[in-house]
Structure 1
Amino acid sequence: MTMNRAILLLASASVLAMATPAHAQTPPPTSASGDAAPVPQSLPAANSPQGGAPNSTHIDTSAEGLEDIVVTAQRVSESAQRAPIAISVIKPEDLVQQAVTRPEDLSRVVPALVAASTGGSYTTFVVRGVGNTTVNAYSDPAVAFNYDGVYIGRPSSTSGSFYDLQRVEVLKGPQGTLYGRNATGGAINVIPNRPQLDTLSADGTVSYGNYNTVNAQAAVNLPISTSGAFRLAGNYASHDPFYNDGTNDQHEYGARAQVYAELTPTLNTRISADYAHQGGAKLFATYVGTATPIFGRTGFSGYSYSPTNYAPGEGIFSPKSQAYLASHYIAQAGRAGEVVQGQPYNNNDFWGILSETNWQVGPGTLTVVPAYRESRLDNLITPGMNGAGTHEKDRQFSGEVRYAGKTGPLDFVVGGYYFGEHIRSNTYFSQFVLVPYQNFTTTTDSYAGFGKLTWHATSKLSLTAAGRYTQDKKRFDGTSDTYILFCGNPASFPPNQCPTVPFIPLVPDAASLRAFYAARGVPVTNVPLFALPPAFGGSQTAPFVLNAKTAINSGLTNSKFTYRLGAEYAFSNTSMAYVSYETGYHAGGFAFAQGLESYKPETIAAWTIGSKNRFFNNTVQFNIEGFYWKYRNQQFSTFGYDLGNPPTTVFLTRNVGKSTIYGVDADAQFLVTRNTLLSGSVQYVHTNYDSFQYDVPNQGAPPPTTCGAQAGNSVINGVTEAVYHIDCSGQPAVNTPEWSFNVNGQQTIPLGDYKIVLQAGTRYRGRAQEDPSYSSYIYAKAGTTSNASITFGPTDERWFVTGFVNNLEDFRRVFGVSQVAASGIYIGSYEAPRTYGVRVGARFR
């Protein structure tokens, strides 16, 4: 879809809505994400589809009590305390205080969420043990990311949106009814401030800290007339490298422009456009140790693990790290001496435009939201390899039509949704002794119809039924041209020696690689030379490069009906309980694996019971929820054989098993005095893989895993291949600590027309397995990270000055651990170090 076509569709939808006749004057209708038109009004009744809040989502429920927050997670405006769902809400001041500028920063403020950067522009999300670590362009995320009411299809396109926000909502559990694309793990809703009528305002904040950290954002709201407004906002975020090799720096900026018009008392429309650029060398990693196989008289007897004991900021490009890598003997190449050649970089651009039209008609509001988004990726990452380069263009168009309202004792939402995506990508993964060059296009067409009905059976009891039918049609067409370096027969023992053979070079295409080896007299062949008789040029010792080509031209269609059944009971105006059963679905996808080109969808069933309460004149809040999930056909990525002839070792995604997840999530707030607030949240989650089995190639010693590893054979296209059958049943989910909690305190000290605000908090996360092979060597240690700040300013908050420090303990938790197969080295990343600085802000009304 061209940009012109996208703009035409947006304009057509708005003109169509404008041409609709108006009805009698009613309250302003609900926006695309459920928010009301941006005009001041009172807090609506729970589940009201046409009420809403102004841009500020913090509404005092009592002059002396805890504030309330309006959310739209169920596509209607309602108090977070009256929404019968598992949700965490992050206020804009918390985003600023915690320096949330990237998607992975969200994990600092939501215990149930684990978000991590995987290099380039990619971020992975895991909620309560459900998520995915595959971020290639031919798989979908298991946790949906929605920006301004629009589903973002690529995990590479979630950056550049964390400024001038109303709030961020994190929904925990399957989202199988109301959202754009179904997701098994949850959803993240990033909701910007909207233009406000009759308001001339400007605000901004800027901070400076160690590592030359600069975070700045600003917004201006301009009334156009009594029925129109314009809002412009922008941000800039940068810091020097956190690692000593010049990696883990940041250089990002973006802008968002919106225009809003209230065409009649019952009809409004909004158009929003945004742009973001991501630069810097975001990738960062450290060598954490090596697992070396031990062979005795009877053969393999186990592994010896040698930690590097490197500091968390010791990057892989430092002289120490390069020497460490060069010292490792790589048996497949018959030599040592390799170093990382590539230098990571980002040069990624993202932009989008949406139109949102709301028309109050009959008992409800009709909402029409067409949107177009595009990203252009140019980056290089080096996670345990010479370099992985990506040149990619992603385009998506989505359209949603939704009608929400209330009639008698019934609240209803009904709608339809379309999502179309087209991706063209050129990538390569240069891995010392192996490199695939991949060129592909992939398309997705997803259609859905959904509805939700809530019956208020009595003044206290409400029953809900919701459902969604989704059909996903996908197409994948591409080629993978793979080259594998061998020092003679890889099965020889002892291994062959090739002290001068060059490792796979960092070159961007296959022609350059072939020319490189031709100039050095190393043959490239699609049949292993050691398998040929000597009379035909075969050799058991001379180096060669094996070339395997894979062409995938495949399509798949998945469809699923998902649903939710729920009940809620209000004990009083401030206490309620709820129970629900919900199903979720995550579409299948593709892999560059001959004969294993696609994999099935994964599904989840979730039981939830919870209670939300306010006590003691609205000064104490206590919410608690229990959950029990059954997760099936989990999608898991690992190395294995494809079904080619001959079979080739590839990185592929397969359905490997099922798991059981259960736990308790609780949060509390205590307004001790009108100037003293204490809050905290805790999550306990137990995860267990009931069945988790897959095969990996048998390349000698079994893999370093605490899972069961049994040598065996697999017959692939009539060819018997040696494999290890891996059984990780009984293991917990990766990236999921059993215990995690946050504790925070805030004290306000009045000083006449001024005030001082003291804030402090800590976050604890328990030990968690980070290596998906479940090695006993590498895990994330339990620990806390604490933050503190002191703010001074006038009581009307026209300006403020804040001094802050984050991660007081300088505790840098490891994440994203994996083993580099060729060398046996484990590589991992560490979280940000201690940061501190000064933040100033001002606003004009």
Structure 2
Amino acid sequence: MKFFNRDFNDMPINTTSVLAGKIRAFGHCILASSIVLGSASALAQDTEKTEEEKKADLERIVVTVERRSQDIQDLAGTAFAFSGEDLKAQGIQDITDISESIPGLEIGNNQGNVEVWIRGIGSSNNTELGDPAAATHLDGVYIPRPSGIGSAFFDISRVEVNVGPQGTLRGRNATAGSVNIIPWRPAIGQWNGSAEVEFGNYNHRTITGALNIPVNDVLAFRVAGIKTDHDSYYNDVGPLDLELAEAADNLGLRFQALYEPNDDLSIYMSYDFAREQGTGYTGTNYALPLGLGIDPDTIEDPRDVVGRGFSPIQDTIHDGFKLEVTYDLGKVKLEYNGSYRDLIYDYQAATPLSPDFPGVFDALAPLDQALDDFSRFQFLTDSESIIHELRLLSDDDASRLTYTAGIFLFDERQQTFLASAGDRGGFFQGAEFNQPNTDTDSFSIYGDATYEFSADTRLTLGLRYTKDTKTRQGVNARYAFALGGFDVNTGNPFGCCMGARVGTEGFQFAGFGRSIYDPDQNGDGNVSDDEFLAFYFDGIAQFGDRDTLDDIFANGVTQGGAENRPACSDSDVTDGLICNEDGTHSFAVPISPNNSITVQDGLIDNEFVDWRIRLEHDLNNEQLLYGLIATGHKSGGFNDTFSDPTTGLTLAPTYQEESVTLFEVGSKNEFDLGDIPTTFNFSAFYNDYRDQVFTNLLSVEQALEFNSGAPVDPLDATPGALVVSFSFNAADSAIYGMQFDGKFELPYDINFNWTALWLEAEIENSQEIQDSRFQADVAPDEAVFQSIDGNRLPRTPRFQLNASLSQIFDIGSGTLDYVISTGWRDSQFLTIFNSIDYQNPDNPRRRLDDSVDAYWTVDAGMGYTHGDGALRIEAFANNLFDEVRTAATIITQFDNTRFFTRPRTFGVRVRYTY
């Protein structure tokens, strides 16, 4: 097979723009990859090449998925690559949009958390206890929490996606594969820059710029930035006219330096900064229309919703430093990679009441109270991670043996906070998860070597040892105060006025400012009502302007309340409810027995070994056969701590790591079909997915039974009992299928690319698991343990297809090019329950529906490059026919919340380079 070992990270801006149109003529951005160009030094030699040689170079697709520069047709495995120019041409705005272009890849945004799934392997556990199963990298740096990474999606050379476990090279938590966003690097000896403006629907505005600054013959800097704004993709059909979720106010900056004092030493440093201050992601809760029996397919636009409370507020800052030092020792290179990253994710919202449907306002009656419900939640995460990696790399041309060996150290320190406030409630005033210390340490040592038996046959062996340790300290709390007025007719002390206010305008949680983490302040082993109230108030920095809960408890736990109580109405008096002389209700204000405060203290300590073996053989210079076996692991974890009421002991049950073993055989081929240069690749794969972790909601009694190994009584969940999120190794799965991809270089500079995937993904050997779509303390007869053997894994459409058509042609004053790309996804499920209603299998309730129908998407782009390429104008449309589908869903006792793919976006951009 042909092999090109070229360093393409220092591609200068002006060359990129000049050749942007030509790139599209030789394999546009879809499927097995896109074009990656050579370095500045390589381009300087182009004048000595023939036109045929130049074309051949442009056709090559160079990737670094195995941490070496390699032609993708020489890669004995499955990978995809996209150039930054090609992504922009189709209007792809961030990493989540790429999933429509790669079969088997699913990238969703779940309340600001980027979730990556590759061929059915991934994770939706976005808490501090969870880890991704597909590793995301920015400029080669592992990103443990990829929130806010979309705003780093500018001035990029390419995006690479490697499919299958990457245990020996990419390492930590890469059981599904890896995604690497690779920016352009500085070019020594060249002054160049670019400026670009973009306008589109939803009042979209983007300004992007980059500047390459050569200081001298050994040092260069590069600065780049982006500012993006657009209005919300949601529309408030209610009277409040709020700006709702998915508006953007984003800023991204990147500073880089490259120092090469001689041929042996290279020092690269970078700093990137991203800030997102839009309105985040709330999704749309379908619970109301589904509960009324309304067909969700009749809801015309899922983003037409009734807003309440206030506009969502997001403030995410994600920044980081990287240092890369490479020193050539002769036959080997020594490379050090160090990085520091900091993510602060802060999001507050009140979810919309309902999507729009006929009669929605009648269903929400009394409407004024529903609109004025400030029940809010806040996510707050601070993740600081440090990576040190030392690698030894052989010279590719030194001998028949090429190898990489290294040590990898990862350290993450997290603070996490999640809280809710139940406005207008009588029994529930909120919950809080406050974890000031969640620490993760990971150590790995690895080696990976390829030996060339002959010019045609190579064997690769890889081995990696990993040790992960995670600890956590914090507190979980549930607040339930029984608040109500006395009804003299029934004797019910809570017969009315279940409307204590909390969370209105001006309300602020204390968040990380909490000072009390152990509610038992006097150390007597019990939490008194006064200690409970002190703990609750310590978690609130400021009550809202119209809150009443603070006044009700102003004098502690009392019978009768305090000075500020909801007023009696005429109907209350008529109905026989007791009112005070001042016109307010007398309140019964006990602390509910269903309150809980649990101090958290968890520990896991995992160690495991990953390995791979691969044999590859060139039938000739254009045909490669290969077979490989590779393994990967995702770290285990622990559950929230809870107390055993019979023993008084606190428990934090653990779960073990997941593992995947991939078996794959394939072939890559280049040949002429008549006079048409053709590429045709295929592979068959089988993933043995072991000890898969599922997360469910259980009552404490059920969790205790499950942890002890005893048979679980589904009725061990009394109304009002404490419910916990419980993760456990629940099942094995078999994932297998075949992938085909190819390219035709047709006459008139027309290119046609395609990829097809057949994917099967079946759950096997499952434990019976609790149906988490029902809450154990509300519907214990439904929240029972069920078999999911034979169910299909979520996010695994059986058949998937992508194709693109592109062309370039001269028009005298410049060149014109276009690309049309399409993707098809078969129907799929988004949860492990596959929409099954175990109680009504023949007439399933719509609330349990997690299916997504098959659909097509079409993207299109057209560009004009004037003269020598300094000026370029582009038009694009992403999701041309506005096919909006559910990308993620949350189904619980009271929710059917759905997050959607991006609606149709279109626009124009103008770029000038020099």
Relative to structure 1, the CA distance from residue 545 to residue 794 in structure 2 (aligned partners, 3 Å threshold; closer, same or farther) is farther
Aligned residues of 1:577 and 1:610 also touching (Cα < 8 A): yes
**Aligned residue number for residue 356 of structure 1:** 324
Higher alpha-carbon deviation: 637-646 or 444-453:
637-646
Relative to structure 1, the CA distance from residue 698 to residue 72 in structure 2 (aligned partners, 3 Å threshold; closer, same or farther) is closer
Relative to structure 1, the CA distance from residue 53 to residue 698 in structure 2 (aligned partners, 3 Å threshold; closer, same or farther) is closer
Matched, 1:805 2:877: yes
**Aligned residue number for residue 402 of structure 1:** 391
SS at match of 1:163: coil
Higher alpha-carbon deviation: 347-356 or 827-836:
827-836
Matched, 1:171 2:162: yes
Aligned residues of 2:148 and 2:276 also touching (Cα < 8 A): no
Relative to structure 1, the CA distance from residue 159 to residue 752 in structure 2 (aligned partners, 3 Å threshold; closer, same or farther) is closer
**Aligned residue number for residue 54 of structure 1:** 39
**Aligned residue number for residue 670 of structure 2:** 614
In structure 2, C-alpha distance between the alignment counterparts of 1:57 and 1:188, rounded to whole Å: 27
**Aligned residue number for residue 402 of structure 2:** 411
CA RMSD for the aligned pairs? 3.5
Query: Which of 475, 479, 493 is residue 479 of structure 1 equivalent to?
Result: 475
Query: Which of 761, 770, 773 is residue 695 of structure 1 equivalent to?
Result: 770
Q: Please show how residues 279-678 of structure 1 align to structure 2 within 5 Å.
A: 279-289=277-287, 307=296, 309-318=298-307, 341=309, 343-382=311-350, 386-406=375-395, 407-430=398-421, 433=428, 435-440=430-435, 441-484=437-480, 500-502=497-499, 505-506=502-503, 508=509, 510-511=536-537, 517=549, 519=551, 544=592, 546-594=594-642, 595-616=651-672, 619-642=677-700, 648-673=722-747, 675-678=749-752
Displacement of 1:315 in angstroms is 4.5
Relative to structure 1, the CA distance from residue 698 to residue 428 in structure 2 (aligned partners, 3 Å threshold; closer, same or farther) is closer
Higher alpha-carbon deviation: 736-745 or 456-465:
736-745
The structure in which a higher percent of residues are helix is: 2
Amino acid paired to 1:173: G
Query: Which of 90, 95, 104 is residue 98 of structure 1 equivalent to?
Result: 90
SS at match of 1:681: strand
Displacement of 1:842 in angstroms is 2.2
SS at match of 1:656: strand
SS at match of 1:155: coil
Relative to structure 1, the CA distance from residue 781 to residue 308 in structure 2 (aligned partners, 3 Å threshold; closer, same or farther) is closer
> Which has the higher relative contact order, 1 or 2, with Cα contacts under 8 A spaced 6 or more apart?
2
Aligned residues of 1:633 and 1:657 also touching (Cα < 8 A): yes
SS at match of 1:421: strand
Aligned residues of 1:472 and 1:587 also touching (Cα < 8 A): yes
**1:710-763 deviation line (CA, Å, top 9, x unaligned):** 87xxxxxxxxxxx61122221111122112211111122212341211221211
In structure 2, C-alpha distance between the alignment counterparts of 1:496 and 1:248, rounded to whole Å: 44
**1:795-818 deviation line (CA, Å, top 9, x unaligned):** 532221122222221111122222
In structure 2, C-alpha distance between the alignment counterparts of 1:599 and 1:151, rounded to whole Å: 24
Aligned residues of 2:823 and 2:858 also touching (Cα < 8 A): yes
Displacement of 1:254 in angstroms is 0.9
**Aligned residue number for residue 372 of structure 2:** none
Structure 1's unaligned 5+ residue stretches are 1-29, 41-51, 294-302, 319-339, 489-494, 526-538, 712-722
Displacement of 1:263 in angstroms is 1.9
**1:244-282 deviation line (CA, Å, top 9, x unaligned):** 032211111111111111122211101111111011112
**1:579-613 deviation line (CA, Å, top 9, x unaligned):** 10011100012332422443211111111111112
Aligned residues of 1:285 and 1:315 also touching (Cα < 8 A): no
Amino acid paired to 2:317: D
- The alignment covers a number of residue pairs equal to 737
Relative to structure 1, the CA distance from residue 561 to residue 738 in structure 2 (aligned partners, 3 Å threshold; closer, same or farther) is same
Relative to structure 1, the CA distance from residue 775 to residue 503 in structure 2 (aligned partners, 3 Å threshold; closer, same or farther) is farther
Q: Please show how residues 187-206 of structure 1 align to structure 2 within 5 Å.
A: 187-206=178-197
Amino acid paired to 2:460: T
Structure 2's unaligned 5+ residue stretches are 16-36, 237-242, 354-374, 485-491, 511-535, 558-586, 643-650, 705-716, 837-845
SS at match of 1:160: helix
Relative to structure 1, the CA distance from residue 171 to residue 370 in structure 2 (aligned partners, 3 Å threshold; closer, same or farther) is same
**Aligned residue number for residue 536 of structure 1:** none
In structure 2, C-alpha distance between the alignment counterparts of 1:352 and 1:368, rounded to whole Å: 17
Matched, 1:220 2:211: yes
Aligned residues of 2:381 and 2:415 also touching (Cα < 8 A): yes
**Aligned residue number for residue 119 of structure 2:** 128
**Aligned residue number for residue 13 of structure 1:** none
Higher alpha-carbon deviation: 541-550 or 769-778:
541-550
In structure 1, C-alpha distance between the alignment counterparts of 2:821 and 2:481, rounded to whole Å: 52
Relative to structure 1, the CA distance from residue 545 to residue 251 in structure 2 (aligned partners, 3 Å threshold; closer, same or farther) is farther
Displacement of 1:197 in angstroms is 1.3
Matched, 1:755 2:746: no
Identity %: 24
Displacement of 1:663 in angstroms is 1.2
Matched, 1:275 2:270: no
Aligned residues of 2:773 and 2:893 also touching (Cα < 8 A): no
Displacement of 1:782 in angstroms is 1.1
In structure 2, C-alpha distance between the alignment counterparts of 1:291 and 1:701, rounded to whole Å: 23
In structure 2, C-alpha distance between the alignment counterparts of 1:38 and 1:401, rounded to whole Å: 26
Relative to structure 1, the CA distance from residue 249 to residue 383 in structure 2 (aligned partners, 3 Å threshold; closer, same or farther) is same
In structure 1, C-alpha distance between the alignment counterparts of 2:727 and 2:478, rounded to whole Å: 18
Relative to structure 1, the CA distance from residue 291 to residue 184 in structure 2 (aligned partners, 3 Å threshold; closer, same or farther) is farther
Amino acid paired to 2:603: G
Amino acid paired to 2:90: Q
Matched, 1:681 2:755: yes
SS at match of 2:147: helix
Query: Which of 814, 824, 827 is residue 897 of structure 2 equivalent to?
Result: 827
Aligned residues of 2:622 and 2:670 also touching (Cα < 8 A): yes
In structure 2, C-alpha distance between the alignment counterparts of 1:446 and 1:618, rounded to whole Å: 50
In structure 2, C-alpha distance between the alignment counterparts of 1:600 and 1:116, rounded to whole Å: 26
Aligned residues of 1:64 and 1:674 also touching (Cα < 8 A): no
SS at match of 2:260: strand
Q: Please show how residues 740-751 of structure 1 align to structure 2 within 5 Å.
A: 740-751=800-811
Displacement of 1:288 in angstroms is 3.1
Displacement of 1:452 in angstroms is 0.5
The structure in which a higher percent of residues are strand is: 1
Matched, 1:732 2:727: no
Query: Which of 761, 782, 786 is residue 858 of structure 2 equivalent to?
Result: 786
Matched, 1:765 2:839: no
Higher alpha-carbon deviation: 68-77 or 54-63:
54-63
SS at match of 1:159: helix
Aligned residues of 1:442 and 1:476 also touching (Cα < 8 A): yes
**1:11-51 deviation line (CA, Å, top 9, x unaligned):** xxxxxxxxxxxxxxxxxxx99xx8777799xxxxxxxxxxx
TM-score (norm 2): 0.75
In structure 1, C-alpha distance between the alignment counterparts of 2:186 and 2:343, rounded to whole Å: 26
In structure 2, C-alpha distance between the alignment counterparts of 1:609 and 1:724, rounded to whole Å: 42
**Aligned residue number for residue 513 of structure 2:** none
Aligned residues of 1:396 and 1:421 also touching (Cα < 8 A): yes
Amino acid paired to 2:416: S
In structure 2, C-alpha distance between the alignment counterparts of 1:156 and 1:125, rounded to whole Å: 12
Displacement of 1:98 in angstroms is 3.1
Higher alpha-carbon deviation: 135-144 or 445-454:
135-144
Aligned residues of 1:576 and 1:612 also touching (Cα < 8 A): yes
